[in-house]
Structure 1
């Protein structure tokens, strides 16, 4: 690095250097009844007296942008800029609130407290705000209340609250349609999306928002990352310029690919680089040696029945998770809840956080965490970029077992849904420290290396039964006429499933020559290992889930192949989607996980 290198060149060089060294997860901190993640300026970088506070969007959009926030924090750290990201009260890993009478002001106050916490942690005197969606709007609202503010980055801001809520309602319907939820299963009496409900008081305040003519300038220097074909974004940029701001405008390339689905979200790398470049230009270099802040264990968050501690663990502290323990006497085994796809560890519709607290209210401890390159855990150097359905993730589960062993919480039960269910099954077979497993809607038990993971995720295959049900639905006919169904991919999925069923019915002589026979034998081998250990295995499926197709191929139409494995039980949940969104279905799953944890002490020793 030369003495005349630009901020961009500096952070690119530091990023290349850090690629040869394993990154740790960000430092967990707690404040104001919530969890934050602090990223210090990287060693060897040119430190700045400006630190970045991230303000997240809400709901489905927050799930989609979670990895983007980590990526930006890591890039900023490489450029010598510290940062903090956090959950609003009542969301993610934050404590729940019983009332929201102050509406959006509650989240605004949390942002102001987070700003002070960031100053304390970083030792810096100046701030930069980066907000996305509703978080960008919050950034514009709280900015005038902050001193020594160098700039505000507004990424796809909510300009008009009433219009945002209308778009959210349409977006919510599309998500629910994709899940296959009936109209009577949808949440329509509140502002909601993907099972997440916005408090009514917050929604009422959001509805009144309109920052297109905001009277106060958020900051002198502003970055506007404008969504394509959004006149409101352009109008806001013009208004801020008229107020006297130095506005840098950037098109939000890849916005739709980012927020369409957290499972297949494509990171907007060009935009991320532009945001970091802008911050590096706006941030004030540090003229003296930075103050070193003592790193301490975060204070636990205490709820009525639980105590939660955010932590880092594994080699190089590369994994982030939350340990949830009961306030009273602990019973049974510790549940290790494995994440699904690229959802953060709080889970779809915050299900995992709520399940952990339910378990604690019944005396059961749990650990929920992000595997490498998921959510808030950085990737492992040398591992493939696509980590789903990969044996590399088993190393992360082993690290979780090691953590629990060191805390005398080592009697462990694994639970997970979809790819998390696959990981739970594979990890249970690989590590005898697992004493039981609850496997929910597993896509398969052994991955077929001829299948492309990205395609399996993107094209959302369904079971033949689900296709049959949908074909007679009037709603499906309306979506078909509107061009909202990919007929080619649906046809390909049906053909694959029919081929698999034909292969499963072939005479043994011919079947043994196919790859399906090899996959079936590998599956039987894993089931045998678990059976020999007498390890209870609970399989839970939604009644029309795509995973049932693999289950029936491997284990028979009615599961008759399970007769040889006395340790396996099966539960079929009617009227539930793949994500187990309906509240009644979630409770069925929670009770099974609780039962598995409480019975773990009764497991006979391995013969």
Structure 2
């Protein structure tokens, strides 16, 4: 959606089967950072439930997050977020013909809903889950999380890294700029003056037994709102690791029941409709008062578009969603292309990092895709089956082996077929982290159109269910230091239990494999020879303490040397598998840009 004055907003609309007039539409707003990543698939399921109950539901990404335009360092981001929420609510009401709009906010986005309503956004009702009354509390929690990560992921002394700019707050792989953190520090929902016909009803949800914010509850009650409080069971399950997160079914039912309660007042009649005079700008000004100077101006209805244009440096690029029909439903992706400048025949496919959606680890694939498009290289950020916004069963990924099935590599090739058929590219680079690196490796091995694979922190190159067990035992699971990691929560206890139960069988299988004529090492030698002879380029980029890196080095396979000059190794500072430290992300971006430089140079020579 294009909104005047801010970056384009990415949203996905879920419509009920009945396309007639609807009583209440729902705007589902995301939490911030790592919680956005973990809860994404659950929020998709929530939107589907709401649509099935008759509520048109819009999921949105805030500016500078997800697939929306902008970056975390943009100025005035708190105002942009607030404007985005208000404009999305306006658009949802107008485009679906709904009489009311209810907004659902989790954490940060709940604060934005209240702020938008105070500034005149046409939001009738709100569901606020784990929402603090003070932005300072939100920032303080992020800082505490960031300090914990900093000690846990700090790099070796021989790595030189740059700290975050002064005043920035980093946690979970995401950052708030100093300006945004200061703006949130000053935000206090208990001081907001809500217009009489905004947020007429509010449902506050607890957080797995943690009570709602008492100041926010009291303020809403003093404002003569219809305020209800309910248990928010399932919050922690929704915020588990993406492959383990589960939708909070009890909350789904609670919210649907609350939305359908009878006896509500008449809905707000939106300005500019057939039953009201004036424009959205006039409507907002009326509630702020004649002498008020708003920090956010209502700029009219957002305009939905299948394609949006963004400016990256001096270049203009465009993005559009891409759906690929499959027997199980649809694969979903976002295609990023140069808008006007000359393109090459080279394209990239950016793959899920485990169960993380197409934006990549810490939104790195969004940044990469736009930067590469500005250089003339199109790319597809792809969700594979059961991940992100692609159809399929996501519960199966609780078993990590399901991320390494051959069918997922087949889907990567299908996506390449579609991109090639559209005339977008003929040669391809595959980029992935963790299981995405595995798919990249097998994609470059299978498909002659794939000329390079960029693999960040692959856990394995040939799937072996016993491999993780052997690694845990080799690294000294039974040493005191290892158990201290368990007690601190660095290693999940259920994972340790699985390792112990599977250890005897795994060790026997590995012993048998080692005496076979073709073990893993010989298989890898053969594959690397084939890729060298096919002029396929491989980049391995490893963070510190990655087990596959240690194993390949012990076997003498990295760096590639004379036998495999097509293999390059890059080392990334930090000890986090998904590159949450900002310096890890920066070093990974540099390594990937160098890989692109090499392919563009090879293309010019050819």
| Same fold per superposition (TM over 0.5) | yes
SS in 2 for 1:52: strand
Please tell me whether the aligned partners of residues 535 and 603 of structure 1 are also in contact (alpha carbons under 8 angstroms): no
Which of 375, 381, 385 is the matching residue for 1:368? Answer: 381
For residues 512-548 of structure 1, give each alpha carbon's deviation from its aligned partner in whole angstroms, at most 9, with x where no partner exists.
359xx66556655654553453322222222421222
Tell me the CA shift for residue 154 of structure 1: 0.6
Question: Who is 1:429 aligned against?
Answer: 445
Tell me the CA shift for residue 158 of structure 1: 2.5
Shift in alpha-carbon separation, 1:94–1:370, aligned structure 2, 3 A = same
Question: Who is 1:410 aligned against?
Answer: 426
Shift in alpha-carbon separation, 1:325–1:119, aligned structure 2, 3 A = same
Question: Who is 1:400 aligned against?
Answer: 415
SS in 2 for 1:379: coil
Please tell me whether the aligned partners of residues 192 and 198 of structure 1 are also in contact (alpha carbons under 8 angstroms): yes
Residues in 2 aligned to 1:227 and 1:510: alpha-carbon distance in whole angstroms: 48
For residues 550-577 of structure 1, give each alpha carbon's deviation from its aligned partner in whole angstroms, at most 9, with x where no partner exists.
5357xx1454998765543333345564
Question: Who is 1:18 aligned against?
Answer: none
Question: Who is 1:339 aligned against?
Answer: 352
Question: Who is 1:585 aligned against?
Answer: 587
Establish whether residue 226 from structure 1 lines up as the match of residue 182 from structure 2: no
Establish whether residue 204 from structure 1 lines up as the match of residue 178 from structure 2: no
Question: Who is 1:131 aligned against?
Answer: 105
Tell me the CA shift for residue 415 of structure 1: 1.0
Shift in alpha-carbon separation, 1:179–1:341, aligned structure 2, 3 A = farther
Shift in alpha-carbon separation, 1:191–1:389, aligned structure 2, 3 A = same
Which of 337, 342, 359 is the matching residue for 1:329? Answer: 342
Matches within 5 A, 1:201-600: 201-212=179-190, 214-216=192-194, 218-262=198-242, 264-281=244-261, 297-304=306-313, 305-315=315-325, 318-326=330-338, 327-331=340-344, 333-379=346-392, 387-408=402-423, 409-450=425-466, 464=475, 483-486=488-491, 511-512=514-515, 519=520, 523=524, 526-527=527-528, 529-552=530-553, 556-559=555-558, 565=564, 567-575=566-574, 577-580=576-579, 581=581, 582=583, 583-599=585-601
Question: Who is 1:13 aligned against?
Answer: none
Please tell me whether the aligned partners of residues 310 and 318 of structure 2 are also in contact (alpha carbons under 8 angstroms): yes
Please tell me whether the aligned partners of residues 22 and 96 of structure 2 are also in contact (alpha carbons under 8 angstroms): no
Residues in 1 aligned to 2:599 and 2:488: alpha-carbon distance in whole angstroms: 46
For residues 338-358 of structure 1, give each alpha carbon's deviation from its aligned partner in whole angstroms, at most 9, with x where no partner exists.
120222322223211222222
Please tell me whether the aligned partners of residues 9 and 84 of structure 2 are also in contact (alpha carbons under 8 angstroms): no
Matched residue pairs, number? 552
For residues 269-327 of structure 1, give each alpha carbon's deviation from its aligned partner in whole angstroms, at most 9, with x where no partner exists.
332343344335479999xxxxxxx9963333343324131212210682332222234
Question: Who is 2:290 aligned against?
Answer: none
Question: Who is 1:5 aligned against?
Answer: none
Residues in 2 aligned to 1:57 and 1:101: alpha-carbon distance in whole angstroms: 20
Residues in 2 aligned to 1:149 and 1:558: alpha-carbon distance in whole angstroms: 59
Shift in alpha-carbon separation, 1:126–1:598, aligned structure 2, 3 A = same
Tell me the CA shift for residue 231 of structure 1: 4.4
Question: Who is 1:24 aligned against?
Answer: none
Question: Who is 2:294 aligned against?
Answer: none
Tell me the CA shift for residue 594 of structure 1: 1.1
Tell me the CA shift for residue 72 of structure 1: 1.6
Residues in 2 aligned to 1:588 and 1:484: alpha-carbon distance in whole angstroms: 32
Matches within 5 A, 1:87-166: 87-96=61-70, 102=76, 104-145=78-119, 149-166=123-140
After superposition, the CA RMSD in angstroms is: 4.4
Please tell me whether the aligned partners of residues 45 and 80 of structure 1 are also in contact (alpha carbons under 8 angstroms): no
Please tell me whether the aligned partners of residues 310 and 320 of structure 1 are also in contact (alpha carbons under 8 angstroms): no
For residues 142-190 of structure 1, give each alpha carbon's deviation from its aligned partner in whole angstroms, at most 9, with x where no partner exists.
2245576442111111322222211111112233444455797664741
TM-score scaled by length of structure 2: 0.77
For residues 38-62 of structure 1, give each alpha carbon's deviation from its aligned partner in whole angstroms, at most 9, with x where no partner exists.
3242335776242211222222222
Structure 1: which 5+ runs fail to align?
1-28, 287-293
Tell me the CA shift for residue 36 of structure 1: 2.1
TM-score scaled by length of structure 1: 0.77
Structure 2: which 5+ runs fail to align?
268-302
SS in 2 for 1:324: strand
Establish whether residue 70 from structure 1 lines up as the match of residue 44 from structure 2: yes
Tell me the CA shift for residue 375 of structure 1: 2.2
Which of 141, 163, 173 is the matching residue for 2:147? Answer: 173
Please tell me whether the aligned partners of residues 353 and 360 of structure 2 are also in contact (alpha carbons under 8 angstroms): yes
Tell me the CA shift for residue 114 of structure 1: 1.7
Residues in 1 aligned to 2:180 and 2:57: alpha-carbon distance in whole angstroms: 26
Question: Who is 1:6 aligned against?
Answer: none
Greater displacement, 126-135 / 140-149: 140-149
For residues 392-431 of structure 1, give each alpha carbon's deviation from its aligned partner in whole angstroms, at most 9, with x where no partner exists.
3223312321221122123211111111101111222233
Establish whether residue 191 from structure 1 lines up as the match of residue 190 from structure 2: no
Shift in alpha-carbon separation, 1:366–1:100, aligned structure 2, 3 A = closer
Residues in 1 aligned to 2:33 and 2:559: alpha-carbon distance in whole angstroms: 42
For residues 477-535 of structure 1, give each alpha carbon's deviation from its aligned partner in whole angstroms, at most 9, with x where no partner exists.
9x76984555976799799999999998x7xx982359xx6655665565455345332
Establish whether residue 41 from structure 1 lines up as the match of residue 19 from structure 2: no
Shift in alpha-carbon separation, 1:46–1:527, aligned structure 2, 3 A = farther
